[in-house]
């Protein structure tokens, strides 16, 4: 199975890891840490070294209660980062986290390979996806099959309760049977509720556990803050599941 992101053909027959780079002042876990373009690109470089298959760059926080930003303000944060990424990591597929078609077009012109849209996309956005051949991530209830470009996201933590998030994570196998799935549960509130850890930056164990669960249920991509630890855990779980006498890997990885 392939996820087509313009010139990048990403094999998602194994679960791939998307590394998060937030260039925001107010993201729930790492807001403000990578606002300077040089810091953002250094973080992206470190995530790639740790094994990230895709880098996802976002310039608007989607945490509960956050203030939306205009497309112009969003692009002002993204533009210098995209220029540096194109120069320093030209062979790495970059996804841009936006629901603004204007931002998406500018990002694709700057070299982005995919768009990660956290709201229902309008027809302008869908047309852009078809025209550009970019990879596309959409809320599961907005999914459309456009070649092998589109992944569905069940939207853990987006206006949902703890019970709803647990139900979403419990239903990944069913969702993945319908179409390729990306899951982003890393450090989110549901992890804090299930582990009792209030500090998002200290939810590593729970986040890795969620990523392994999603992979074993068939998720094509997991979007995470902690790439190295997630890659290690996925490698071990896959090897043990496929070992002689093992239960077999139940998902795609």
- Give whole-number Cα distances, 26 to 22, 68, 96, in Å: 9, 11, 17
For residue 204, what are its two tokens?
A: 């590593």
Alpha-carbon gap, residue 140 to 14, rounded angstroms = 20
For helices 37-49 and 71-88, the axis angle rounded to 10 degrees is 50
Tell me, yes or no, if 162 is annotated catalytic.
no
Find all residues with CB under 8 Å of 181, minimum gap 6, and list them. 140, 151, 152, 153, 154, 172, 175, 214, 218, 219, 220, 221
**Residues 189, 157 contacting (CB under 8 angstroms):** yes
36's torsion region: left (phi>0), alpha (psi -120 to 50) or beta? Answer: beta
Catalytically annotated residue among 77, 105, 106, 188: 188
Q: Which of 173, 154, 194, 158 minimizes the C-alpha distance to 251?
A: 173
Q: Which of 105, 187, 189, 223 is catalytic?
A: 223
Q: Which single residue is written with the structure tokens 């996804």? A: 95
Which stretches within the chain are classed as H helix? Answer: 37-49, 71-88, 101-109, 123-132, 162-170, 172-176, 189-195, 204-216, 227-242
**Given the structure tokens 């852009």, which residue do they identify?**
128
**CA 243 from centroid of its chain's CA atoms:** 29
Give yes or no: 178 in active site: no
Catalytic residues: 188, 223
């Amino acid at each position: 199975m392939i996820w087509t992101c313009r010139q990048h053909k990403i094999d998602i027959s194994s679960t791939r890891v998307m590394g998060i780079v937030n260039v925001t002042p107010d993201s729930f876990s790492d807001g403000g840490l990578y606002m300077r373009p040089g810091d953002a690109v250094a973080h992206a470089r470190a995530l790639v070294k740790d094994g990230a298959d895709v880098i996802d760059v976002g310039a608007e926080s989607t945490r509960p209660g956050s203030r939306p930003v205009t497309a112009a303000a969003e692009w002002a944060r993204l533009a210098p980062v995209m220029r540096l990424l194109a120069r320093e990591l030209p062979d790495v597929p970059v996804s841009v986290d936006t629901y603004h078609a204007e931002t998406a077009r500018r990002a694709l012109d700057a070299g982005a390979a995919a768009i990660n849209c956290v709201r229902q996309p309008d027809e302008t956005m869908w047309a852009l996806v078809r025209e550009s051949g970019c990879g596309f991530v959409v809320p599961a209830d907005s999914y459309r099959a456009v070649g092998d470009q589109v992944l569905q996201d069940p939207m853990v933590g987006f206006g949902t309760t703890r019970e709803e998030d647990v139900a979403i994570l419990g239903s990944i196998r069913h969702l993945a049977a319908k179409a390729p799935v990306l899951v982003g549960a890393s450090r989110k509130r549901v992890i804090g509720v299930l582990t009792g850890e209030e500090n998002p930056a200290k939810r590593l164990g729970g986040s890795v556990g969620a990523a392994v669960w999603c992979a074993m249920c068939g998720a094509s991509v997991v979007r995470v803050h902690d790439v190295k630890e997630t890659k290690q855990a996925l490698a071990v779980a896959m090897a043990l599941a496929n070992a002689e006498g093992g239960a077999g890997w139940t998902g795609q990885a």
